[in-house]
Structure 1
Amino acid sequence: MRSVFAFLTVLALAIGPTLAAQADTPADAPADAPATSTAKTRQARLDKLFSDLGRERNEKAAERIAGTIWQAWLDSGSANINLMMLWAQKAMEAQKFDVALDFLDQVTTLDPTYAEGWNRRATVHYMMKNYAKSLADIERTLQLEPRHFGALSGMARIMADTGHKQAALDAWQRVLAIYPMMRSAQSEVSTLSEELAGEGI
């Protein structure tokens, strides 16, 4: 759990300024940028980033691409939701998980199509060891964004924590299909494969 929290803290340091800047922007998009057009542009940008991520074989370059994807995921398109996400992150860092859940419940209610709201709530549930609730939110995240390597990583950790090694291995392999240079996923696949082979599976 400490390693997961440490990862989240590092991630927050990287994305916190981005969220803060987004929170200061007007909530409404310009009149000349219809929501459908904006969504298509964002999707096309993500598609390109994922294509690059899948081909990249330099670890540091892949990390930069993944970081750009995280930033894109975090931008809900709403200043209000972005601000609530920032508050939720600060509550998580302070280990005030109930407060974080309150904000994230509002986020998922205000915009049920915002995948990162569900993923962040899944993370809080995981940190509280509410595994069933975390998995439910992970499933919702993946329905909205099947390429969400963060949500898949969370699923893998839950499967491993609950003794489902094969399911954990399957989830980590799904991560690597999207993000081949993720070192933690590579390490987990190697370790789990060896353990399962030793158990005769």
Structure 2
Amino acid sequence: MRLWPRLLNHIVAALLPLFLTCAVAFAEDQAKLDELFTRLKAAGEEEAGRIETEIWIEWSKSGSPAMDLLLQRGRDAMELGDSLQAIEHFTAIIDHAPDFAEAWNARATAYYMTGEFGPSIADIGKVLTLNPRHFGALSGLGMILEESGKPDRALEAYKAALAIHPHLQGAVEAVERLETQEEGQEL
């Protein structure tokens, strides 16, 4: 029985450098994202597009080559119009890496593409819990709310996305469209 505590000490000692490396990498990733979001707020429209791309690249890093491959396979399936296959790939990622927000976001998009708004909204909720700055998820929520006949709530979602990413093209256009509709109704 005395061997057990010593064995645990050796295991912890062996794994500690790995845990510390992961913690440092996570902190570096967060610092990079913080810097990108700061730049995004101040950027002009053209520069904002480049920064947005950098943010999406960072969000797409799961930390696991296997999960990254599944994410790419799911995205490829969506590009080919096979949303059901995409959902399977994204669900596999979520099963193994439930804290990977981009897998939830990708599955929310795939559900949206199949017209399954309920599961899409549920996944968007998880994305925003894991990553409150996810302007893509907020914009997607706006699209669903707008298509569901809830323009006031859609407008709120789009404006929340724009508070994070002031040049998010789809959201800018949606806000203009919905505000114009709202003004037309007041007359």
Band the TM-score falls in, shorter-chain normalisation: 0.7 to 0.9
Percent of aligned pairs with the same amino acid: 36
Q: In the alignment, does 2:26 pair up with 1:39?
A: yes
Higher helix content, 1 or 2: 2
TM-score where L is the length of structure 2:
0.87
RMSD across aligned positions (CA): 1.6
AA in 2 matched with 1:52: R
Task: State whether structure 2 residue 118 is matched by structure 1 residue 132.
Answer: yes
Partner of 1:50: 37
Q: Select between 30-39 and 146-155 the one with higher mean Cα deviation.
A: 30-39
Structure 1 gaps of 5+ residues are 1-29
Counterpart amino acid of residue 37 in structure 1: V
Matches for 1:41-190 after TM superposition, within 5 Å: 41-56=28-43, 58-190=44-176
Distance (whole Å) between structure 2 residues aligned to residue 38 and residue 51 of structure 1: 20
Change in Cα spacing, 1:111 to 1:32, as seen in structure 2 (3 Å) is: closer
The offset of 1:60, in angstroms, is 1.1
Cα deviation for residue 62 of structure 1 reads 0.4
Deviations 1:46-75 (A, max 9, x none): 01100110111x211000000000000001
> 2: distance between equivalents of 1:129 and 1:153?
16
Residue deviations 1:59-112, cap 9 Å, x none? 110000000000000011100000001111111111112211111111011111
Amino acid across the alignment from 2:154: A
More divergent stretch after superposition (64-73 vs 34-43):
34-43
Change in Cα spacing, 1:97 to 1:32, as seen in structure 2 (3 Å) is: closer
**SS across alignment from 1:76:** coil
Equivalenced residues, count:
171
Query: Normalising to structure 1: TM-score of the pair?
Result: 0.81
The structural deviation recorded for 1:183 is: 2.6
Runs (4+) off by over 6 Å: none
Cα distance change, pair 104–32 in 1 and its aligned pair in 2 (3 A)? closer
Looking at structure 2, the residues matched to 182 and 34 of structure 1 have their Cα atoms a distance apart, in angstroms, of 34
**Cα deviation, residue 32, structure 1:** 9.2
Instruction: Point out where structure 2 has 5 or more consecutive residues left out of the alignment.
Output: 1-16
List per-residue Cα deviations over 1:99-157 (Å, max 9, x = no partner): 11111111011111100000000000000000000000001000011110110110000
